[in-house]
Amino acid sequence: MYLNLFLNFLIIVGIVGLGFFLKNYLPNYFTEKGKNLATKEDISEITEKIESVKNSFAVSQEKVKAELQVKSAMQQAFQSKCLEALIAINELLVEIHLYCWKQIATRSPAEHYVWSAVDDSTEGKGLHYFTVAIDKIAMEHSLYLTSSSNAALSSLSVKIGNISNLEMHLDKSEQDSIFEKSAVSNYQSAIMALQECRRALKKDLFFENENYQTY
């Protein structure tokens, strides 16, 4: 009988002790366990956000890089067209300049140029032809020229056009007429107009150099 009572007492003490243990230890255990799980979840979420931001930044960076490459390629192509326009215009200005020089030379015994050594590519052409040529080349390349360059070509066309009217009267007049006497002056004026146009083009296209003379 006493043995049974003692055993029951031990069982009761064990149950009470176990209850006390569970009451005090398990809540703390599950709390800490929950904290650890929450911490791992937070770290995982933060890591995912960082990776997402990194990926988004990489995509954005590649997009910007691609756009810059396209813009750079377009700018280079445009600059190439601008250079082509400048070369074509300069060739025409040189041709007109040589034509005017030749016309002056035929009327000036003191002219030192030997025109037989020059390619006579202006044969059959006159200032009226060159006026149209200026307008044509301005239209062909206006897209690649600045407004100042286009204005310089337009001004040159007007000046050469006015002189071409005098040239046509000269062709119809006698050699000793007043137009013949002023022919040299007219062609010199045309050359001055060409030089002015070339200076404007050089300045507008950042080729202006005070040590470089325009002929």
Question: Is position 181 within any domain?
Answer: yes
Residue 94 lies in a domain: yes
Q: How far apart are CA 17 and CA 39, in angstroms?
A: 33
Query: Residue 38 and residue 211: Cα distance in Å, rounded?
Result: 77
Residues 6+ apart with CB under 8 A from 134: 92, 96, 153, 156, 157, 160
Number of domains in the chain: 1
Structure tokens at 111: 């002219």
CB-based contact 149:123 (threshold 8 Å) = no
Question: Is 33 inside a domain boundary?
Answer: no
Give the number of other Cβ atoms within 10 Å of residue 159's Cβ: 20
pLDDT tens-digit series, residues 95-144: 898 888 888 777 766 655 555 555 556 567 888 889 999 999 999 888 88
Classify residue 12: in a domain, yes or no: no
Q: Which pTM does this prediction carry?
A: 0.59
How does pLDDT run across 40-87, given as a tens digit for each residue? 565 666 677 767 767 777 777 777 778 888 888 888 888 888 888 888
Domain assignment present for 34? no
For 196, the domain range is 80-204
Residue 50 domain flag: no
